[in-house]
Homo-oligomer: A and B are copies of this chain.
Amino acid sequence: MVAADLDVVGVGNALVDVLSMETEEFLEQQSLIKGSMQLIEPEEAVRLYEAMGSGVEMSGGSAGNTLAGLASLGGRGGFIGRVCDDELGAVYRHDIQAMGVEFPVPPKTDGAPTGRSLIIVTPDAQRTMNTLLGAAAELHPDDVDASFVARGQVTYLEGYLFDREAAGEAFQKAAAAAHAAGRLVALTLSDSFCVERYLEAFRELVAEEVDIIFGNHDELSLLYESDDPIAAAEKVCDLVVMTRGAKGSLVSSRGTRTEVAAAPVARVVDTTGAGDLFAAGFLYGITHGRDVPTSARLGSVAAAEVISHVGARPETPLKDVAAELLAV
């Protein structure tokens, strides 16, 4: 068996974010549901982009953000996802590799252009995402190399991938490969609408394959149709990680629950990537021998950095931020 020389291997949608700051009225005019992620088609993307104000482009995608955060903390990661051989694809590839994350899947030379998420940030720092999956949706089980997955202590799966059938199969293949190699499988529920769309598939996957589950209260409650979803999730997962926004997080480790406060932020500018970066800090912790409370604090610190500016990837090396706040 190969050694687990990577901390985390992520499987997710390779997307470039296009962020613009808009008013509450803009959301209403565009009939967008604040805080959600909706999938859009190319025509809708053109229309919405035209309506949006001047933007900022940055690599994004949930699992990709988590891997970038892990690397920023000093961790070693790999990423599986699909981009096209175009300008945005080159940006995505550059950015994740520049963080030191291994990204072995070659860009597609045909098919849809690189995926993008049009993200509206409102004055309350909430983000509303409108994603044109493009090439990301063409992720195929063949893109998942079992020996690459086996190199990660944890395989981290992004719930959003369920939105396309072949990608869902790639997801299953990665989970099976991880377990065959004796590794852990983590899943982030991503979005309550996403959970709702694939409720049964998610439940089955969690029961059979998931060791660590990430979600907020809404997502976990939907999944288990329960007001105390942690109790339900504890039955099937070793670690249940509930993010609670400004209230921090609640982690159940084999039934032992720990609450950790959010890290202080001078001004919350844009919450895009908050959950992704929490996962980055938490996974960095548990793959580096930290206990659950310390891992959750690392998650809080990473999330605090990313919500203090526009965009879902760290601006300041998280290693420095964590060293200052936690002396780790």
Contacts and interface: CB of A to CB of B under 8 A. Distances in A.
Interface of A: 20-21, 49-50, 52-59, 68, 86-88, 91, 94-96, 98-99, 266, 269, 309-311, 313, 315-316
Nearest to A89: B87
A52 B21 contact: no
Contacts of A57: 56-58, 91
Given A56-B58, A57-B57, A316 B21 contact: yes
A99 B68 contact: no
Contact of A59 (B54, B86, B269): B54
A309 B55 CA distance: 14
B309 A95 contact: no
Nearest to A86: B87
A213 to B, nearest CB: 28
Nearest to A57: B57
Contact of A309 (B20, B52, B91, B310): B310
A15 to B, nearest CB: 14
A50 B315 contact: no
21 contacts: A20-B98, A21-B315, A50-B94, A52-B98, A53-B99, A54-B59, A54-B94, A54-B95, A54-B99, A55-B58, A55-B98, A56-B56, A56-B57, A57-B57, A57-B58, A86-B87, A87-B87, A87-B88, A266-B266, A309-B309, A309-B310
Contact of A98 (B54, B56, B86, B316): B54
Given A86-B87, A87-B87, A87-B88, A95 B313 contact: no
5 tightest A-B contacts by CB? A57-B57, A54-B95, A87-B87, A53-B98, A54-B98
A91 B18 CA distance: 10
A95 B54 CA distance: 4
Given A21-B315, A309-B310, A315-B310, A91 B53 contact: no
Contacts of A316: 21
A316 B310 CA distance: 11
Contacts of A96: 54
A214 to B, nearest CB: 23
Nearest to A94: B49
A266 B309 CA distance: 14
Given A54-B59, A87-B87, A309-B310, 20 more contacts: A20-B98, A21-B315, A21-B316, A49-B94, A50-B94, A52-B94, A54-B95, A54-B96, A54-B313, A55-B58, A55-B98, A56-B311, A57-B57, A57-B58, A57-B91, A86-B87, A87-B88, A269-B315, A310-B310, A310-B315
Contacts of A58: 55-57
